[in-house]
Structure 1
Amino acid sequence: MIDDIDRRLISALAEDARLSVKDLAARVGLSSPSVSDRLRRLEERGVIQGFSVDVALEPLGYTLQAIVRVKPLPGKLYIVQNLLSEIPEVIECDKVTGDDCFIVRLVLRSIAQLDEILDRIIDKAQTSTSIVKSQTVKRRLPPL
């Protein structure tokens, strides 16, 4: 389990992963060595799995996003899973229960690009695609 100080450290890093250990220490009221030790233990326990950057997609030319439900044809599950992992525009993919096996989030520069990507899997899976109009809730931490 994590305590209140760990929760505050994680929340601060979720807001800004570039905070220095000194700044983190000031926020939680501990010394820098204590914060470093806590961060190391959180990483060792797998609570903190890495640090990342939040990139705006539109300036990179990705003006569209799509959610694709993917149902592999019989015997094609692992082929489809491997194929999805190789497509760079797949920024998230969840293996799920229910009628579909995968829920995929794609970033796209055009509708034509969507067709190109779907054409790569159409002989291996059934798909159902929705274009994302807006993301009303961004990926965030669950309650700590």
Structure 2
Amino acid sequence: MRLNGLDERIVHALAEDARRSYADIGAEVGLSAPAVKRRVDRLRGEGAITGFTVTVDPAAIGWRTEGMIEMFCRSRTAPEDIRQALARYPEVVSASTVTGDADAVVQVLAADMRHFEQVLERIAGEPFVERTKSVLVLSPLLRRHTAGPPG
């Protein structure tokens, strides 16, 4: 599915602040509030918009340590097996298969260094994991929850 320019602008406005009113978005994109609602409903129905959420500062809920774990897996480990294993860890906030030496990169949030170490040890102990390599985040420099400004 490919969004047209107007739909992209609506999606971008919602991604910046999903609590914005349809009237406010309409004023920005040149549509009436009902027209924006119809487009949003259509985009939801087509699966382009998959949901609405809130973004919370992890430190506000006690997750003050962040790290990235590179996973090196045994040959023939299916991505779905990696996904299923990592889905059991509430500390894992994202995971992706990647090019390069590692098979996957995992973003982890933890309460502190010891908690991060425990998560790392548990992930390293998964039966398909040969080894891991991790780095800790010192300062997040840029966080985007959208693909960027509309084209």
TM-score, length of structure 1 as denominator length: 0.87
User: How big is the shift at 1:13?
Assistant: 0.9
Alpha-carbon RMSD: 1.9
Q: Distance in 1 between matches of 2:82 and 2:11?
A: 35
Q: Do the aligned residues in 2 keep the contact of 1:14 with 1:141 (CA within 8 Å)?
A: no
Identity, in percent, stands at 31
> Structure 2 vs 1, CA of residues 80 and 42 (structure 1 numbering), >3 Å: closer, same or farther?
closer
| Residue aligning to 2:143 | 138
Query: Could you tell me how far apart the structure 2 residues matched to 1:82 and 1:7 are?
Result: 32
Are residue 41 (structure 1) and residue 46 (structure 2) matched?
no
Shift of 1:76: 5.1
Q: Greater RCO between the two (CA within 8 Å, min separation 6)?
A: 2
Separation in 2, partners of 1:75, 1:4: 42
Letter in 2 for 1:37: R
Specify every segment of 5 or more residues in structure 2 that has no aligned partner in the other structure, as ranges.
none
Contact 2:65 2:116 in 1 (8 A): no
Q: CA deviation at 1:65?
A: 0.3
Specify the SS of the correspondent of 2:9.
helix
Q: Which amino acid aligns with 1:98?
A: G
Structure 2 SS opposite 1:58: helix
Gapped regions of structure 1 (runs ≥ 5): none
Give how far 1:18 is off.
0.6
Q: Name the residue aligned to 2:27.
A: 26
1:57 positional shift: 0.8
Aligned residues: 144
Amino acid aligned to 1:59: A
Query: Is the 8 Å Cα contact of residues 64 and 108 (structure 1) preserved in structure 2?
Result: yes
Farther-moved stretch of structure 1 (69-78 vs 110-119): 69-78
TM-score by length of 2: 0.84
